[in-house]
Structure 1
Amino acid sequence: MFVTKRLRSQWSSLLNLPLYVKHYNVAVVGGGSEMGQVACMLLRGEPNITKLTIHDTLPYITGTIMDISHIPSEPKIKGFTGDTNLYKAIEDADIILATGGICETPGIPNKDIFLTNTTFIKNFAKAVSGLRHIPFVGIATEPINTLVPIAAEIMRCSGDLSLNKLFGITGIDALRAQTLYATKCNLNANNCTVHVIGGHSEKTMVPLLSQAMPLVNLDQALIQELTMKIRSGDEIITDAKNGHGPALANAYGVLLFTRAILRALDGKLTPVHAYVENNDFGTSFFSGLVYVDKNGAGEMARYTNLSEFECDLLEESINSLRIAIDSSKKVVEVDH
């Protein structure tokens, strides 16, 4: 049943200047958020993006757009504000990125954050569903485990049954695992690969240290310690930043996701870590290394010889994912 696919490094071709052929339009919805601003700045430097469109409802978004436009680079900058202009901002995009909503913030209850981000994704998905042709869509707004299925349900209700161009952007999980593994093993991080499967939360991430490249034999205590650090990375950074989340690393993940999709649009089969609709692992959505071409997501990498520890984590992950996905369906049902 399982097909093992290994790569020297899933990011090696994406960390350097991308080899694109054509030029494309990219829209960032929620470009005024902390993560959105950094993502826009990084994307501003991509020479093969013809137009970078930035949308938000925040009052200072006009200044953000002006700020980014002062960076001399190839993409033409266009900005839109307000809910009524959301469709205009995305109607001709090849890639649409959702970076809006709010991160875990001191003084704001988690329930309020969830409601705010859910509303953002609902409006976002409804606008995308109204497009004549569905472009590639990447969602970086948290919690990805729940919000991507919400977007999928809304898009499916509007007639898009394939959803093979809808992705939750989870590259930060693999990047973090790669870096922490390299540090622990005294290796060059650029030469390491650690795949992370399952979901995109502390309880659902499963770092496959048994599949790491190059493989270093770690004792069980070190494996458990390293796994804990990888899974709780968001919390560790948020505590260190006095309640503000890892917007910088997440924005870098958005950049690498965009580079991967640009390569796919050029006709190159490209690997990308993402949370996608996939029924092969016991739940309807799953995160891992997925192979993407110009038509969307294809086969997801699978693995043999997982350790007993990883199998236990995976079982717990699938149970937690089922709960998150079921809750997303209930959220959408309330609107109907």
Structure 2
Amino acid sequence: MHLVVICGAAGGIGQPLSLLLKQSDLISHLALFDVVNAPGVAADLSHINTKSKVTGHGKEQMDEALKGAHTVVIPAGVPRKPGMTRDDLFKINAGIVRDLAEGVARNCPNAFVLVISNPVNSTVPIVCQVLKKHDVFNPSKVFGISTLDVVRASRFVSEISPAIDPSTRITVIGGHSGVTIVPLLSQLPNSFADSLSRDQLDALTHRIQYGGDEVVKAKDGAGSATLSMAYAGARFTLSLLQATVTGKTGLIESAYVHLDADKKNTAAFREKTGLEYFALDVEFGKNGVGRILELPRVSIYEQALLDVAIPELKTNIAKGASFITVSA
């Protein structure tokens, strides 16, 4: 049985993510956990005529939902509300992610943990620190899903150059917020990046980095990027399941990971930057991270982006790790 648990399943990301995953034959049991409305969402999804069983678990049933899970996907958290500072948002979501990580450590310490909850640059270190505290940390099994940055990059590039199919996967490295998002447009064929003026390149890079703001503005304060994030989260989850359940090889996604997951291919980069976590292309294997692809040669423009991203990432990572230290 391959039990997949969605923590935060009744939310704006959780519901469409659950719908997308319900369609997969790789999942035999889909367990939906949330502090409110999870049983209702589960009842609705359970009527869909695919193979997986769906169960709903409320506020006091986290352990029941997580018990023996193969994969745990975490979109749980609150969106930023009027009057709420980013620090307020961090404290709330960090506490939610910490408690879920504690549940994983107790009930499914060998599970693959896929983190969507923002800020990913900090919440992934929180999960890792909790698992370390319980002596069940495996760097090959914890992922920050940064796939939405890749999805956006692919779409936005195809709008500029119709010759590039929107399904073309573009490598995006760094982190999963603002300036930490570094799209490697120089890797595209036919010198795509060279065909752009500096202003065009700046505009495209900014749009990829701050695509979430575009959605928030369009929704006029009524929400953030939920549907596109659910799509990206499902894509990532299903790729991981194909590798870990069926043994399919050659599946690559960008992921924000602890670099100890592949010390051989990341040792030089880690020594150069001093980073523990970074988003790079990851090839999935039976045990999660099969290998982390080495950072390709970047352009002068992209190196300048990295020079800005790395200090910001260090701050984000330290903030996540210190949250566990302070709250322990």
Given the two structures, how large is their TM-score scaled by the length of structure 1? 0.88
Cα contact 2:74–2:116 (8 A) shared by 1: yes
Structure-1 residue corresponding to 2:278: 286
Tell whether 2:284 aligns with 1:308.
no
CA-CA distance at 1:63 after TM superposition: 1.9
Q: Pick from 267, 283, 289: which aligns with 2:247? A: 267
Q: Structure 2: 5+ residue runs without aligned partners?
A: 261-265
Tell whether 2:110 aligns with 1:110.
no
Q: Pick from 290, 297, 312: which aligns with 2:289? A: 297
Cα contact 1:198–1:287 (8 A) shared by 2: yes
CA-CA distance at 1:193 after TM superposition: 2.9
- 1: CA distance, partners of 2:190 / 2:49: 40
Q: Pick from 189, 196, 211: which aligns with 2:172? A: 196
Between Structure 1 and Structure 2, the one with more helix by share is 2
Flag the 1:295–1:94 CA change in 2: closer, same or farther, 3 A: same
Structure-2 residue corresponding to 1:176: 152
Per-residue deviation, residues 104-126 of structure 1 (Å, max 9, x unmatched): 34454433322221111011110
CA-CA distance at 1:175 after TM superposition: 0.7
Q: How does 1:210-229 map to 2 (within 5 A)?
A: 210-213=186-189, 215-216=191-192, 217-229=195-207
Tell whether 2:122 aligns with 1:146.
yes
- 2: CA distance, partners of 1:148 / 1:267: 26
Per-residue deviation, residues 161-206 of structure 1 (Å, max 9, x unmatched): 4321000111000010011011111234345232100000011000
Q: How does 1:54-93 map to 2 (within 5 A)?
A: 54-58=32-36, 60-82=37-59, 84-93=60-69
Structure-2 residue corresponding to 1:328: 320
CA-CA distance at 1:312 after TM superposition: 0.9
- 1: CA distance, partners of 2:164 / 2:108: 46
Look up the SS of the partner of 1:52 in the other structure: strand
Structure-2 residue corresponding to 1:11: none
Bigger RCO (CA 8 Å, 6+ sep) = 1
CA-CA distance at 1:48 after TM superposition: 2.4
- 2: CA distance, partners of 1:119 / 1:300: 29
Moved more, 215-224 or 246-255: 215-224
- 1: CA distance, partners of 2:321 / 2:235: 30
- 2: CA distance, partners of 1:296 / 1:257: 12
Per-residue deviation, residues 89-141 of structure 1 (Å, max 9, x unmatched): 01122111001111234454433322221111011110111135411110111
Moved more, 48-57 or 123-132: 123-132
Q: Structure 1: 5+ residue runs without aligned partners?
A: 1-22
Cα contact 1:31–1:40 (8 A) shared by 2: yes
CA-CA distance at 1:215 after TM superposition: 4.0
- 2: CA distance, partners of 1:29 / 1:191: 28
- Which residue identity lines up with residue 40 of structure 1 in the other structure? S
Structure-2 residue corresponding to 1:129: 105
Tell whether 2:257 aligns with 1:276.
yes
- Which residue identity lines up with residue 41 of structure 2 in the other structure? T
Moved more, 171-180 or 288-297: 288-297
- Which residue identity lines up with residue 16 of structure 2 in the other structure? V
Flag the 1:162–1:188 CA change in 2: closer, same or farther, 3 A: same
Per-residue deviation, residues 60-110 of structure 1 (Å, max 9, x unmatched): 33222222223222210111111x321210112211100111123445443
Look up the SS of the partner of 1:49 in the other structure: coil
Per-residue deviation, residues 25-54 of structure 1 (Å, max 9, x unmatched): 211011011100110111111122111100
Cα contact 1:50–1:76 (8 A) shared by 2: yes
Cα contact 1:192–1:214 (8 A) shared by 2: no
- 1: CA distance, partners of 2:254 / 2:196: 25
| Paired-residue identity, % | 28
- Which residue identity lines up with residue 24 of structure 1 in the other structure? H
Look up the SS of the partner of 2:290 in the other structure: strand
Tell whether 2:189 aligns with 1:208.
no
Q: Pick from 3, 9, 14: which aligns with 1:36? A: 14
Superposed CA RMSD in Å reads 1.7
Aligned length: 312
Tell whether 2:228 aligns with 1:236.
no
